[in-house]
Amino acid sequence: MKKDDDLAALAKAIDAVAPRRMASANDSDLHLAPPHLPYVAENDPSIVVDVVELRRLDTTMRVYTAGPRAIRANTPGIVIVPHLWGVDATIRDIVRRFAKAGFSAVAPDLYARFDAPPGDDICDRTIFDPFAKRIERRQADGDIRAAALWLQARSPQGLIGITGLSIGGRYALMQAADNNDIYTCVAPLYGSVENITPDQIHIPVCGSYGEHDSIIPADNVRFFRTLLSVPNDIRVYQTAGHDFFDDRRTAFAPAAASDAWKRTLEFFKNYLVPKR
C-alpha cells in the first residue's frame, strides 16, 4: 500500500517539476508540408489494404487495416491509435508501413460517432479539438480494444502491440494500463504521460518524444521514465517538437522521425515476432 501511495505522489509531482505549456513554433507554424508520395502505396503488391466496419453498441466504427498478403495464425498485430486529425493520410501510411514490415495493422476511427471531417488537408487544431474533447475514456478503451480483438480473431496465436501519435500515443499508454491482457508491448509516439500511473503499466514501453514539444513537456517524460518498472526505451529528441513524426505537416523532423521509426519497428519485432 505504501508503494502505491509513493508512486501516486511521485506521479502528481510531475506537474511540479516540469514547465507549463508555453506557445512555440509548434503551434504557430504548423502547416501542410509539400505533397509527396507515401512511404508505402495502397496498391503495393506485397500488402492487402481494406476498410472494415466493426459493430459497437452505439455505432458502426470504420477501421483502416493493412497486412501482408499471407496472414497466418501467428502473424503479429499492431493497433495504431490516430492523432488529433483522425485516420488521415499520415495514419493510413503508417498502417501500410507496418504491413510492409510483416505486421497485421489497424487504425480505429475514434470519431465514428461525431461526423468529423477528413483530416488529410487540415492543420488547424481548433477544428478537431471539439471532437477530441468529446471522446470519453471508456468509449476510447472499448473502440481500441475492439480493433485489437479483430486482430486477435484473424491471428489467434499472434501477439499484439499498440502505438499512437500525440493523443493517440496517450490512448496507447492508457490501453497498456487498462487492457494489458491483450497487449504485449506499447510504443507511444509523443503521447502525454499526464495522470498515467506508471505502476499500472506491466508491459515494455518504447517512447519517442521531442525536447521542444510545447504540448508535452520533456521533463514530464523524463520523470515518467524514472518511475517505470518495466523494460523501456524512452528517448527525447533534442531537435524535435510536437508532431515531429507527421511527415505531412511542417513540424516534421526527418532525422528524429527516421530514428523513432527504426527504434519502434525493432521494438515491435523484438517483442511480437516469433523467434525461429
Q: Per-residue DSSP letters for 13-34?
A: THHHHSPPP---HHHHS--BPP
Count how many domains the chain has: 1
pTM of the model: 0.89
- Single-letter amino acid, residue 79: V
Contacts of 192 (CB under 8 A, 6+ apart): 167, 169, 170, 215, 216, 220
- What single-letter DSSP state applies at residue 200? G
Q: Give the structural domain span for 163.
A: 2-272
What grid cell was written down for 1?
A: 500500500
Nearest to 234 by CA among 274, 186, 165: 186
Locus of grid cell 487495416: 65
C-alpha cell of residue 254: 526527418
Contacts of residues 53-59 at CB distance under 8 Å and 24 or more positions apart, as own/partner, are 54/108, 54/146, 54/147, 54/150, 56/112, 56/142, 56/143, 56/146, 57/142, 58/113, 59/112, 59/113
CA pair distance 122, 88, nearest whole angstrom: 10
Domain with residue 266: its CATH number is 3.40.50.1820
Residue-wise pLDDT tens for the chain (276 aa)?
Answer: 444 454 444 444 433 333 333 333 344 457 999 988 999 999 999 999 999 999 998 899 999 999 999 999 999 999 999 999 999 999 999 999 999 999 999 999 999 999 899 999 899 999 999 999 999 999 999 999 999 999 999 999 999 999 999 999 999 999 999 887 899 999 999 999 999 999 999 999 999 999 999 999 999 999 999 999 999 999 999 999 999 999 999 999 999 999 999 999 999 999 999 887
